[in-house]
A and B are shown apart, each in its own frame.
Chain A
Amino acid sequence: MKKLIFLFLLFPLLASAQLTTINPDTVCYQTPGSTYQVPGTPGYTYNWVVTAPGVITSGIGTNAIGVNWSAAGPGLIVNAVTVTATNAAGCISTPITLNVFILQIIPTITAIGPFCAGSACVTLTGTPAGGVFSGTGVVGNQFCSTTSGTGTFPITYTVTSNGCTFTATTNVTVNPIPVLSPIQHN
């Protein structure tokens, strides 16, 4: 009896568990391939319309298509993806539309250096806030020449948003300390 009650309560939750996409849908800038789909029904044919410069690359007539957004500039595309279904009787469904937001973030990283070997650690600065620094000599959000040693090192600032990753890079140079020979008396 307990099992029955449990299943009775659980079933509506399972039935409503359906993959959906928030409108507008976010697409990373210059993404070559995105897949859009609706639940398929046997006997239906699907008509997709994608706003240019988006291009349908696969799946025409089916319930799932591939779209190439790489030519789209950043910003919102209203009614970017529209789909209707036609059944065997030729009846056409109400269209379903999806707006698409092409997300582009251009991170910046403040140049630092050059440093002399053994210099104190310097705090790195990047925009927008919330990114992650990486590279030789990077410790947390600082660059430490004592860790990097001498040379020129690329430092990368990575920002992640809505599943999209954007980076900025700068080079940091650490010069060696001049080494003098002992004083000689002639």
Chain B
Amino acid sequence: MIKRLFLLLTTLLIVTKGYSQCNGVMTSTLTPVPVSGQYPPGQVVTACITMNNYTQSGLNWFEGFDLTLGPGWASVTPVSPPANCGGAGSGGQWIWLNSSTSTTLPVTTVGPGYFFDLNSNGVAGDDFGDNNTASCSWTFCVTLTAANACTPLNLLFQVSPGSDGVWGSYASSACDVITPFTVFNGTINVTPPIIGPISHN
């Protein structure tokens, strides 16, 4: 009986996470993998994030991925955008923006990240998102570069998925709650140089 209850609760938790409104199940890979939660100064890391099972609410379409970076990251560079949910013929494109401002209220500015530009005018905040009609899987990759620092700066890397009712032009508040996905939360591995004794020839 207890075993059955445990299994039931576990399943519920997974289902809750997988099918929460305006969110999805996100997975990620980091290359190279961190060592003891740390990267050395100057390390270039390739991060790939996949979101499945995005559940639309109130016809909010999926607008984009907003990246949050800790102060230890010196730069982030786009590598590959997500694919259109409806395929190439569905219209619109995924673009990399350092900053994107919504036209729906309240006006919200996010970025950097990948955002969906439905009318292909280079602006993501003035239109709708990528319509999740086919239970899509969105995958994108970026490279992150750890700063050359002598202090153990934070290397937080979070990805927040947002709908067009928040970051686009769709007037809906059904998806106003955004839950960030933490890809990594470590520090720079500070290793001051060590030199040996002086020798005299």
Binding site for B on A (CB under 8 A): 18-21, 25, 27, 34-39, 41, 44, 46, 63, 81, 83-94, 96-98
Binding site for A on B (CB under 8 A): 41-42, 148-150, 190-201
Q: By DSSP majority rule, is chain B's interface helix, strand, loop, or mixed?
A: loop
Q: Give the docked Cα–Cα distance between A186 and B196 (Å).
A: 94
Docked-complex contact A38 and B197, CB < 8 angstroms? yes
Docked-complex contact A96 and B150, CB < 8 angstroms? no
Q: Nearest chain A CB to B39's CB is how many angstroms away?
A: 12
A98 contacts which chain B residues (CB < 8 A)? 198, 200
Docked-complex contact B198 and A38, CB < 8 angstroms? yes
Q: Give the docked Cα–Cα distance between A36 and B199 (Å).
A: 6
Q: A89-B41, A94-B192 are in contact. Are A21 and B199 (CB under 8 A)?
A: yes
Choose from B148, B195, B201 the contact partner of A96 (Cβ within 8 Å).
Answer: B195
Query: 18 extra interchain contacts, Cβ-Cβ under 8 A, other than A38-B197, A93-B194, A98-B200?
Result: A18-B196, A19-B199, A20-B199, A21-B199, A25-B200, A34-B201, A36-B200, A37-B198, A38-B199, A39-B195, A39-B196, A41-B193, A46-B195, A84-B195, A91-B193, A92-B150, A92-B193, A93-B192
A21 contacts which chain B residues (CB < 8 A)? 197-200
Q: A88-B42, A89-B42, A89-B149 are in contact. Are A35 and B201 (CB under 8 A)?
A: yes
